[in-house]
Structure formats: structure tokens, C-alpha cells
Amino acid sequence: MFLKKITFIVSIGIMIISCNNKKQPKIVKEQANKSWALTSFVKVDSLNPILEPKTDTKFLCPIRNTNVKWEGKDVFNPATIVKDNKVYMLYRAEDFVGKHKGTSRLGLAISEDGLHFNRLPNPVLYPENDKVKKFEWEGGCEDPRIVEDETGTYYLTYTAWNGDKARLFIATSTDLMSWTKHGSIFKNAYHGKYAKTWSKAGSIVCKLEGNKMIATQINGKYWMYFGESNIFLAHSDDLINWTPIERNVSSSFSKEKLIGHSAEVPDLLPVLKTRKGKFDSYLVEPGPPAIITNKGILLIYNSKNSSEYGDSKIPPNTYTAGQVLFDKNNPSKIIDRLDTTFFKPDKPYETDGQVNQVCFLEGLVYFKNKWFLYYGTADSKIAVAVMDSEIIH
């Protein structure tokens, strides 16, 4: 495997995330020995959902040249980051128009306390008459994740959807409001072959510095987990152009048949796969940015339960979440993984909506000495769970 050719050396600080609903005592018991993944996230029932669709905000679509209710149908799948001691949320919003039953754009909302958000009246990232229009129209811009670098530049990975294929794109900004699109993150790797295949969900490895999620190099490279069905790995020198890690002919995965959209990329090395009989039996997909701790690289991931060979205790096709710990010196090596889900839909706004039975996690911040976890519910609304915790150094 390629990792035999690389020696990773890194000295880093520690942070331990504890993620679970206190109302799940059996799961707490099962995960009690997972010191890297203490479980104590609590859904804020008094406020959830914290963001819902609005039909009174209109936006002049530059392609249709007409006003659309850009967040009138659904709002979901948020990315979050702390800036100027406030939480900024970039969220996916859908209108009612088009052959795909709505076009997606990314809106921006700001909070002083992490719980109550004020929205900007217009989206900040959306399909327009630009160089990437053919990749974003008329499906839209979907499912963001965000980190920043040491200079204060923000890097947003998102899915460009044109109704035919999902592609992982990236955009940059210095103020979170004006964005520069850079197109496919894979366009310069392997003669662009992966820019033509299905890809999504870019979780860039970072570390917590104060309350900022800073993209962090390991042995001179940035790293990112990405994919749907299985999770893959890529590296970068500049956070814009990424090179996926391919299988070696001697890899133990080399003869394995990939499932779902992963079948489009048979040369890629899967670093996290589905498991029969468990909550993550149908697909796995990265959640918020992966975080370096002294015990490894912590990745929260989303998953779907198979209707045929999944966990019989969880409804078929339910989206729940898991956690996995990778070696901080070898980002493809799994150290440990939760056997049970730590986060699942059990509220009406999570079980009923555009897509039923969905909790989809994409935003995580450390803010005012607490962890705030933001997620899409039933592909329709946005909710938050909070964990009281001090950072352990």
C-alpha cells in the first residue's frame, strides 16, 4: 500500500469529543470504554428545530431571471464555524422550482449564542452564469463542510449537482459572504479522471485552536476524508487541489467489489467501509471536519441502515451517525470505531419530512466552553445538540 512509502511524523495537542444522547443508556454502556468518544450530546428540545423553511424571502435567480422563494421548501445540512465570537452557519436551502423539485443554494445565518440564528436575506453561494454552471444547474449547491487556514481564509467543500452527477467542489472566502468558486477539487489529479465521477462530502482534517477549526498538515500535506457508500482519502498542498489515494495492486481491498456510487471509482482505496448487521450497513459518508486529537483523528460520519442486511433494531433506510478514530500518523489506519450509533432520529422533526428518518451531521463547533453539533433533520429542517465539556490538553 502507498502508506508503506510514507512516514508520518506529527506533534499535536489533544481534544476529546463526547457525543451521544443521554436518553440512550444502553448505548452509553456499550461505548463506556471508548475514551476517545465520550457520549454526551443532548438535543436542545426546547428550541429544535432551530431553522425552518421561510416563504417570505425571495431571491432574483440570475439564471431564471425571476424571483424565487429560495428557502421556502426545505432547509437542512448545515456547516458551521466560529468567527468574531459568533457562530456562522452555511445551510442548504431549496426552492420549489425546476425539474428536480427544487434548486439548492447555500444561505448564511449568524448567532451570538449558538442557538438563535439571524439569516441573511439572500443566499451566498448558488448556481449562476459562471464557468461551473453546467455542473451546478439545475440541481444546485449542496451539503457544505467548512474549515479555515492559519491566514483566516475559509475553505468550503460542497456538492455540485446538475441532476446527472454529484461532484465535490470547493470555494474560498475571507468573510463568509463573498465566495470564489474553484470547481472540482479533483480536476488536476490523474488527468482529471475523478472530476468526472460521482463524489461528495469533503471532511478536511483540522485541529482545534481556541475556538477555530484550522486545517492542519500531516507530514507537509493536508488530508481529507470524502465519499458516499464508502469513505476515501485525499491529500493536498494548497487545500484547493486534491489528489485521491488509489489502491495498490497488492491492497487487500484490490479485489473487493465496491457498492453504490463507490462503484464508479474502483481505483480508490476505501478507508472506511459499511458493515453488515449494523447501523452503517448501507452507506457511510463523512460528517463535520475531522479533528486531530492526541489519540488520533476523530471523524464523525453519517450512515444509512440497509433494509436487507442492516441493524434490525433500527428502521430500514434510517440515517444515523457514528464515530471512528484514525491513526494521526497514518490517516488511512483505523484505530477504533463505535459499534453502535451515537445519534439517531427520534423526534417528529427528524422522523417526518422530505426524507423520513434522517439525522445528518455536518456542523461542529467549540463555542463558549461547549460543543455544538448542527444537523439536518428529515432533509427539511435544522437542529442542534449541545455537550458541556472543557477541552482536555
Report the chain's terminal Cα–Cα distance, integer Å: 33
Residues in Cβ contact with 365 at an 8 Å cutoff, skipping those fewer than 6 apart: 80, 81, 82, 87, 114, 211, 213, 371, 372, 374
**Is pLDDT of 30 > 80?**
no
**What 3-state DSSP class applies to 388?**
strand
| pLDDT the model gives residue 221 | 97
Per the document, the length of the chain is 393
State the DSSP string of 36-50. TEE---EE-TTT-SS
**Is pLDDT of 375 > 80?**
yes
Residue type, 250: S
**Is pLDDT of 16 > 70?**
no
H/E element, 351 = helix 348-351
Per residue in 191-249, pLDDT (tens digit) is: 999 999 999 999 999 999 999 999 999 999 999 999 999 999 999 999 999 999 998 85
Stretch 174-200: mean pLDDT? 96
Nearest to 381 by CA among 48, 116, 75, 54: 75
Give the pairing of strands 37-38 and 17-18.
Answer: parallel
- Calpha distance 53→247 (Å, rounded): 43
Stretch 337-361: mean pLDDT? 95
What cell was used for 17?
Answer: 469529543
Q: Tell me if 124 sits within 8 A of 114, measured CB to CB.
A: no
| pLDDT the model gives residue 129 | 97
Per residue in 31-48, pLDDT (tens digit) is: 446 778 856 899 999 999
Structural domains of the chain sorted by starting position, each given as residue range(s) with its CATH number in brackets: 2-388 (2.115.10.20)
Ramachandran quadrant class, 180 (left: phi over 0; alpha: psi -120 to 50; beta: rest): beta
φ, ψ at 261 (rounded to 5°) = -70, -20
